[in-house]
Amino acid sequence: MALQTSTNTAIQLLAYTELRTLHSKHETIAERCYGDGLRQCFLYQLNVIQDGSGATPQPFVSKMRPMYDIVKYSRKARKKFLSVLTAALNFEPTKFELDTTPTHLELSRFVIENLAFFEYSTMDELLQVLTSVERSVASMGVPIAHSIETEVFLIGKEEGTSVDPERLKLLASASAVLSLIWSTRSHLRKLYGLNAGKKAGKVPSKDSTSKAPTKVPFVSGAPLWEEIRGILAALETEDGMIQQCRDVIGPLLPIVVTCMS
């Protein structure tokens, strides 16, 4: 699976052809490998290609598109594949760490950029992704926001209490994951003309399991691409990390709660 993301066309094509054949003959066995395959794709891009992004720009194409092209011919397989990708974004706020190699933030960026630029074959798949990521941000956002309020902005603490630099970095990174996910969710809703005020699962759609979603003309992936890089760049300075934390407890979380209510 990892070699399908190679920048060498011959290697990429050979890997794609072989995996497509194996997948068509042993789909159930192949499904069990989606999680490991995702991680290997990411590590290959990060360590061999030395580019941990999940897509290439101009035009914007997901790096795991060959794998998606293989699974989209089976509704069961593609639902499983997308479930593995969206599940990879989840983390327990109390166990979020920075000393892992690679970090969850790096993996999240790879996953969300793939999700952002897949060519979804049915509306059903798109709604599956939107529902999953919206629930993830809602469940993870509340405890992270609480920690930010008490540990970064020191709400309820005595005056003179200082912010722990390591906790600031950790909470800013955790909140950045939420922002990456939500920015991608907003991009997909805009790209496919879905009402941002409704839950993904509530969006009416005829033939959702057979027809591809229709893109809105002239909606570009460039703003999302730049937004992702801005979120990551903010983590390089203390002021940027504080602003990232402020963005989560300010604009982001109220929007999440409203959309999920």
Listed by start position, the domains of the chain span 1-81, 96-261
pLDDT at 32: 86
pLDDT at 210: 66
pLDDT at 224: 97
For residue 173, pLDDT over 60 is answered with yes
Residue recorded with tokens 């192949």: 30
SS3 222: helix
pLDDT at 261: 59
pLDDT at 257: 64
What's the average model confidence in pLDDT over 235-261?
A: 81
Q: Give the integer Cα–Cα distance in Å for 249 and 233.
A: 19
CB-hemisphere CA count at 13 Å for 59? 6
For residue 202, pLDDT over 80 is answered with no
Q: Give the integer Cα–Cα distance in Å for 156 and 102.
A: 35
On whether the CB atoms of residues 173 and 235 are closer than 8 A, the answer is yes
CA separation, residue 194 to residues 35, 73, 144, 184 (Å): 29, 25, 28, 13
User: 223 CB contacts (<8 Å, ≥6 apart)?
Assistant: 187
SS3 103: coil
Question: pLDDT tier at 37 (50, 70, 90 boundaries)?
Answer: very high
pLDDT at 154: 79
For 94-134, how does the pLDDT look when each residue is reduced to its tens digit (9 = 90+)? 888 888 878 999 999 999 999 999 999 999 999 999 999 99
Question: pLDDT tier at 250 (50, 70, 90 boundaries)?
Answer: confident
Q: Give the integer Cα–Cα distance in Å for 180 and 172.
A: 12
What's the average model confidence in pLDDT over 216-232?
A: 95
What's the average model confidence in pLDDT over 12-35?
A: 89
pLDDT at 207: 58
Q: Give the integer Cα–Cα distance in Å for 103 and 13.
A: 30
Lowest average pLDDT, out of 49-53, 208-212, 213-217, 223-227, goes to 208-212
For residue 85, pLDDT over 70 is answered with yes
Q: Give the integer Cα–Cα distance in Å for 10 and 59.
A: 21
pLDDT at 253: 67
For 132-166, how does the pLDDT look when each residue is reduced to its tens digit (9 = 90+)? 999 999 889 889 998 998 899 876 566 657 888 99
